[in-house]
Chains A and B, each alone.
Chain A
Amino acid sequence: MLRLKPDRLDTADFTEQSISIAGKAFVADMSGALYWPSEDALIVADLHLEKGSAFAARGQMLPPYDTRETLAKLAAAIDRYDAATVIALGDSLHDVAASDRMDAQSRETLRIMQSDREWIWVTGNHDPTIPHALGGHTLGELTVEGITLRHEPKPGRVTHEISGHMHPAARIYLNGYSIRRPCFVGNGLRLVVPAFGTYTGGLNILDEAFEPLFSTDGMSVWLLGQEGLYPIATRILKED
């Protein structure tokens, strides 16, 4: 049996969601970006630029459009919030040679996005260094208003932290549907944002890799749909 249409069609309520981290207000966007209104900053993680060409170099010719796709999505998010600062939370480049493989058009897109705003590259395990040619400032991590932004979340019950690295995804099962999507996952004190890159897969947040970060009962989850960002009750989460 197939239900073709929801009873209501308004989607406006779900394009973004307010999230509070350690008492500060944030806005999670359905694209996977996180906006910080009081700092006018947009945070994105795990862009993995040039992942396609990294595979091609090994003989697996994935379509070479991932970098422009990721940058176009990022440009749209920046436009939506017109943020004064962009913070890329690490693994922005898929590997250290990625910038050499990036084509002129993508470099130009990046340059245009960087003009008139501050751009911070936080380093990650895939991109321990960022070539100067890509502009912006490079930092290992940074702390703003008492909240630390870093690539890899610190294990343990750490608070006041926003991180990426984990590529969180959730699977839910409801009314016969099984759906698996990237997600934001947090507990009010720390937050892990989803991977923003086009070719990035996801790791189920019920995987044991998340155990050191959150206790399951205090977890809040926002699932990225195609038309919105949906808060989901943790009890309907499923393992893969």
Chain B
Amino acid sequence: MPESFARWFKSRGWTPRAHQLALLAAGSARQSTLLVAPTGAGKTLSGFLPSLVGLSDKKRALKGAGLHTLYVSPLKALTVDIARNLVAPIGEMGLGIRTETRTGDTSASRRQRQRTRPPHILLTTPEQIALLLAHPDAAYLFADLDTVILDELHALAGSKRGDLLALDLARLRALSPDLMTIGLSATVARPSELRAYLAAQRAPDTETALSGLVVASGGAHPIIEILEIDEPVPWSGHSARYAMLRILESISAHKLTLVFVNTRMQAELVFQELWRINDANLPIGLHHGSLDATQRRKVEAAMAAGKLRAVVATSTLDLGIDWGDVDLVVNVGAPKGSSRLLQRIGRSNHRLDEASKALLVPANRFEVLECRAAQQAALAGEQDAVHARTGSLDVLAQHVLGMACQAPFRPDELFAEMRSAAPYSMLTRDHFDRIVGFVTDGGYALRAYDKFAKLVTMPDGRMRLAHPRFAQQYRLNAGTIVEAPMLKVRLAGRRPTAQAKAGVSKSATKPLVGGRVLGEVDEYFAAQLRPGDAFVFAGEVVRLEGIRDTEVLVSRATASDPVIPSYAGGRFPMSTHLAERVRTMLADRSAWSGLPRPVAEWLDLQDQRSLIPAANEVLVETFPHGQRYHLVCYPFEGRLAHQTLGMLMTRRLDRLGARPLGFVASDYGLSLWCAADLGSMIARGTIMLDRLFEEDMLGDDLDAWLAQSSLMKRTFRHVSVIAGLIERRHPGREKSGRQVTMSTDLVYDVLRKHDPTHILLEAAWNDAATGLLDIARLGDFLRRIRGRIRHRALDVVSPLSVPILLEMGVEPVAGAGREAVLREAAEALIREAAGTV
């Protein structure tokens, strides 16, 4: 470490940590490196050390006016925060290094200036790098680039944003061949996936290239408790209403508590419930992604200033920034994964050597098991794995156009460059060519658009943009984040008009007067409400007045029992690792004694009435209930995989004549109900469970179901926006989310009928299979349980099935059966007209 740096560390009373020195050594050896460190280990400063040392070199300073280091963070706010933290060391050591941020909020003139006179260190987001690269002056701008620092890499890799960033890294390496990458990550189970991400991959048949690895030693073990009270734990639901008093007590016993929940609506509910009993008026705030940005900033500022005692938050506060002295983290509901839990717990006591403190609050009985599993995993320091990802094709299409905006390209060279990015190391030439074809003229079997092509081939074989306006189109539409169509929520009231005052007009004709914007809700949620419905939003009870254009107009209301719109547990399915622990715990009777009494009794009862399967088995129960015959199974593979399983089993049961009527899936199990007696069909051998659960359901059945599912249409919408088939914005006009939804559904139907092998349909299928369908996990499950199905035919509902059955009716309704609803509506009208009602 140079003398000036050693002095500075000393002046702070700090000793350089081992991992910081290791990174410096890697930096002088020009070795790209992944730093894995728990929260509070001074990770970010460590990442910058090689660059700061390099820039402090006098020779370099004389030479260099160009951009030296790029810092990339998934969060805009984090770049600003880090820039502030760099000011101190740079100033105090007198390094004279210019540091600037660049985000969507940076002014156009400043962004322009950054191109011509770049700072030494630029802190920015993946989207901005894509935009910088899609410009003819990129070769000049990045020619001297020395280092790229990727912060929170575990959160970026494994997503479409990560795919795009990987491709951008490949191009940066091409522009500046000696480039070094430094990745910063929270603890993960398999760092090799991230190390591959940081390194340039060579030919596909060779061994995967990996960056170096530095692991910072872990901090003190967290203290994790699970809330236990005498009240019985609810059978189902996600609100944890029963535990509010205890949560409030914990808040008042600590300085600042973060209360994490899994969904925005859960946040609203918990916030509401806490305030209902908050007699001491403890300052408690609310923070989630639907709230208006200014309101979120206010809450953050209040936290930092120590003015709040608690904040109820969703994953919006999972990452990054320190906002004050959090000394307790409460996690309401199931943690869903041990890494997520550790990350959240890390928000408390943001110092390495002090133990973080967390309280887990299960909202229902199954969650008690899951919390217990997460507690054990976290104490053992076990992490969920970040899965290696095959880069998506829609991102590839966007990147091809971006590269054409920079300069003409030779397809062979671009193909080789893209395969040096880890997510695309297995990309085939056929896929590459079809994507280039798609970017050029849509790539349709019917060659109708040659004359409108966006890319043209030059005599020397390079491909170039056909017109500069396509570069403008690219800039307006770049990025991989496709939000669900959102509607603004605006506080409004009906002000009496002159006529109304005079008693002339009806109240319904009073005009709505718009007020403050409270935030945004997704369109799907808004569609479920009717005018007059009360619901909880931004911590208030409001009543829907109406929906105008893209705004939801609401007024303040005082309903004592507001609607909490249907939200279905956590958005994230339970991780494979936690699921395994839960299955093991369930099978191990000796572990039950540690469970709360009602939960242990519940399991005992299940053991007597039905059975408890071994950890490697799956239990299938059949019993009559209501007018129906139920089949319940407990794979513990997460709701996405269960939903897919439910859809596919339904098709099979239908073919077998069981007349399935519906199903409900939770994170833990699946319940299907039929009009035919399933128990006796199984007894007669009409239904063979081994056949029913056979893996081949992932073939034709899956294809046939997917083709018409609304889930596939939604996935296709995302893919077509990212790939650039549908524009988010066209120069001079804005397209609202609603309009996009409409047109992609129409496009999907047409494409499927006339061009079923089109590359975008393949892209959408791949996305659905890895994302919302969780096909891989379902496949693993079906293989795992082959020959290990335990069936019990019961006369009545089993204890274990109760929580799953109770989810019925809470679930939002998915795509099928719409025609039946239309028919019902029409028949009702006809009966009405005929006077038979």
B825 in contact (CB, < 8 A):
yes
Complex Cα distance A4/B547, Å?
Answer: 30
A sample of 5 cross-chain residue pairs with beta-carbon separation below 8 angstroms, ordered by A number, consists of: A5-B660, A59-B473, A171-B527, A177-B818, A202-B742
Q: Is the CB of A230 within 8 A of B822?
A: yes
Q: Which residue of A lies closest to B647 (CB)?
A: A2
B448 in contact (CB, < 8 A):
yes
The 8 A CB mask of B414-450 against A (1 = contact, 0 = none) is 0000000000000000000000001001111010110
Complex Cα distance A43/B546, Å?
Answer: 35
Which of B662, B727, B746, B823 interacts with A14 by CB under 8 Å? B823
B663 in contact (CB, < 8 A):
yes
The 8 A CB mask of A150-161 against B (1 = contact, 0 = none) is 000000000000
Q: Which residue of A lies closest to B566 (CB)?
A: A176
Q: How many residues of B contact A (CB 8 A)?
A: 65
Specify which chain A residues have a CB less than 8 angstroms from the CB of B454 in the assembled complex. 59, 61
B738 in contact (CB, < 8 A):
yes
Q: Is the CB of B661 within 8 A of A4?
A: yes
Specify which chain B residues have a CB less than 8 angstroms from the CB of A178 in the assembled complex. 527-528
Q: Is the CB of B750 within 8 A of A5?
A: no
Complex Cα distance A4/B753, Å?
Answer: 24
Specify which chain B residues have a CB less than 8 angstroms from the CB of A177 in the assembled complex. 813, 817-818, 821
* Contact (A223, B822) CB under 8 Å given A2-B662, A103-B448: yes
Q: Is the CB of B746 within 8 A of A198?
A: yes
* Contact (A53, B449) CB under 8 Å given A63-B442, A69-B753, A69-B754: yes
A144 in contact (CB, < 8 A):
no
Specify which chain B residues have a CB less than 8 angstroms from the CB of A5 in the assembled complex. 659-661, 817, 820
Q: Which of A18-26, A81-89, A118-126, A231-239 forms contacts with chain B?
A: A231-239
* Contact (A239, B825) CB under 8 Å given A56-B452, A61-B441, A63-B755: no
| In the complex, chain B residues 609-662 whose Cβ is within 8 Å of any chain A Cβ | 650, 654, 659-662
Complex Cα distance A6/B746, Å?
Answer: 25
* Contact (A230, B826) CB under 8 Å given A3-B820, A173-B530, A225-B819: yes
Q: Is the CB of B546 within 8 A of A239?
A: yes
Shortest C-beta distance, A204 to chain B (Å), equals 10
* Contact (A174, B821) CB under 8 Å given A4-B662, A238-B527: yes
B832 in contact (CB, < 8 A):
yes
Specify which chain A residues have a CB less than 8 angstroms from the CB of B499 in the assembled complex. none
Complex Cα distance A176/B660, Å?
Answer: 20
Shortest C-beta distance, B3 to chain A (Å), equals 57
Complex Cα distance A80/B394, Å?
Answer: 41
Complex Cα distance A5/B444, Å?
Answer: 36
A58 in contact (CB, < 8 A):
yes
| In the complex, chain A residues 29-66 whose Cβ is within 8 Å of any chain B Cβ | 53, 56-66
B829 in contact (CB, < 8 A):
yes
Q: Is the CB of B751 within 8 A of A6?
A: no
Complex Cα distance A103/B451, Å?
Answer: 13
| In the complex, chain B residues 509-545 whose Cβ is within 8 Å of any chain A Cβ | 527-528, 530
* Contact (A62, B819) CB under 8 Å given A172-B825, A174-B825: no
Complex Cα distance A62/B724, Å?
Answer: 10
Shortest C-beta distance, B663 to chain A (Å), equals 6
Q: Which residue of B lies closest to A58 (CB)?
A: B730
User: With contacts A56-B442, A61-B454 known, what are 17 further pairs, Cβ within 8 A?
Assistant: A2-B811, A3-B816, A8-B823, A59-B452, A60-B727, A62-B442, A63-B754, A63-B755, A69-B750, A177-B813, A178-B527, A201-B743, A225-B818, A225-B819, A225-B822, A225-B823, A239-B548
Specify which chain A residues have a CB less than 8 angstroms from the CB of B469 in the assembled complex. 59
Specify which chain B residues have a CB less than 8 angstroms from the CB of A231 in the assembled complex. 826, 829-830
Q: Is the CB of A3 within 8 A of B808?
A: no
Which of A60, A198, A232 interacts with B825 by CB under 8 Å? A232
The 8 A CB mask of A181-202 against B (1 = contact, 0 = none) is 1000000000000000011011
Q: Is the CB of A2 within 8 A of B813?
A: yes
Q: Is the CB of A236 within 8 A of B825?
A: yes
Q: Is the CB of A63 within 8 A of B661?
A: no
B563 in contact (CB, < 8 A):
no
Shortest C-beta distance, A166 to chain B (Å), equals 15
Specify which chain B residues have a CB less than 8 angstroms from the CB of A6 in the assembled complex. 817, 819-820, 823-824
B809 in contact (CB, < 8 A):
yes
Shortest C-beta distance, A56 to chain B (Å), equals 5
B319 in contact (CB, < 8 A):
no
| A-B interface, 10 closest residue pairs, ranked by CB to CB distance from nearest | A61-B442, A6-B820, A64-B448, A230-B826, A65-B754, A201-B742, A178-B527, A176-B813, A56-B452, A177-B821
